[in-house]
Protein backbone atom coordinates (compact mmCIF):
# COMPACT_ATOMS: atom_id res chain seq x y z
CA UNK A 1 0.00 0.00 0.00
CA UNK A 2 1.23 3.47 -0.87
CA UNK A 3 -0.15 6.68 0.67
CA UNK A 4 0.92 10.11 -0.58
CA UNK A 5 -0.35 13.52 0.55
CA UNK A 6 -0.96 16.26 -2.01
CA UNK A 7 1.41 19.20 -1.51
CA UNK A 8 -1.26 21.93 -1.58
CA UNK A 9 -4.64 20.23 -1.30
CA UNK A 10 -5.37 18.17 1.80
CA UNK A 11 -6.06 14.98 -0.15
CA UNK A 12 -4.41 11.71 0.89
CA UNK A 13 -4.15 9.37 -2.10
CA UNK A 14 -3.54 5.62 -1.69
CA UNK A 15 -3.21 2.62 -3.98
CA UNK A 16 -3.68 -0.98 -2.81
CA UNK A 17 -3.24 -4.24 -4.74
CA UNK A 18 -5.59 -7.17 -4.01
CA UNK A 19 -4.97 -10.77 -5.12
CA UNK A 20 -7.85 -13.23 -5.57
CA UNK A 21 -8.76 -16.30 -7.60
CA UNK A 22 -10.21 -13.95 -10.24
CA UNK A 23 -6.91 -12.07 -10.64
CA UNK A 24 -5.42 -8.83 -9.41
CA UNK A 25 -7.50 -5.77 -8.54
CA UNK A 26 -6.19 -2.31 -7.68
CA UNK A 27 -8.02 0.11 -5.38
CA UNK A 28 -7.20 3.82 -5.63
CA UNK A 29 -8.63 6.09 -2.92
CA UNK A 30 -8.38 9.78 -2.20
CA UNK A 31 -9.68 11.26 1.03
CA UNK A 32 -9.72 14.36 3.21
CA UNK A 33 -9.34 13.06 6.77
CA UNK A 34 -10.59 16.26 8.42
CA UNK A 35 -13.92 16.11 6.56
CA UNK A 36 -14.40 12.31 6.44
CA UNK A 37 -14.78 12.54 2.65
CA UNK A 38 -13.38 9.91 0.30
CA UNK A 39 -13.62 8.65 -3.28
CA UNK A 40 -12.57 5.14 -4.33
CA UNK A 41 -12.13 3.55 -7.76
CA UNK A 42 -11.27 -0.08 -8.62
CA UNK A 43 -9.19 -1.15 -11.62
CA UNK A 44 -8.18 -4.46 -13.20
CA UNK A 45 -5.24 -2.79 -14.96
CA UNK A 46 -2.18 -1.64 -13.03
CA UNK A 47 -1.49 1.06 -15.63
CA UNK A 48 -4.99 2.55 -15.27
CA UNK A 49 -4.71 2.50 -11.47
CA UNK A 50 -1.33 4.25 -11.53
CA UNK A 51 -2.67 6.79 -14.03
CA UNK A 52 -5.60 7.59 -11.70
CA UNK A 53 -3.23 7.76 -8.70
CA UNK A 54 -0.96 10.24 -10.51
CA UNK A 55 -3.95 12.22 -11.80
CA UNK A 56 -5.28 12.77 -8.29
CA UNK A 57 -1.87 13.96 -7.11
CA UNK A 58 -1.70 16.71 -9.76
Sign, CA torsion 2/32/28/9: negative
Average of pLDDT values for 10-34?
92
Domain segments of the chain as ranges: 2-57
- Distance between CA atoms of residues 9 and 16, nearest Å: 21
| Per-residue pLDDT band at 7 (split at 50, 70, 90) | low
Q: Are 42 and 25 within 8 A, CB to CB?
A: yes
| Contacts of residue 20, Cβ cutoff 8 Å, sequence gap at least 6 | none
Return contacts of 6-14, CB within 8 angstroms, 24+ apart.
6/56, 6/57, 10/34, 11/56, 13/53, 13/56, 13/57
Average of pLDDT values for 4-17?
83
Q: Taking 80 as the threshold, does the pLDDT of residue 26 lie above it?
A: yes
Amino acid sequence: MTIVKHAIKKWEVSIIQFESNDGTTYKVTRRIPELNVSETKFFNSKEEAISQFQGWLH
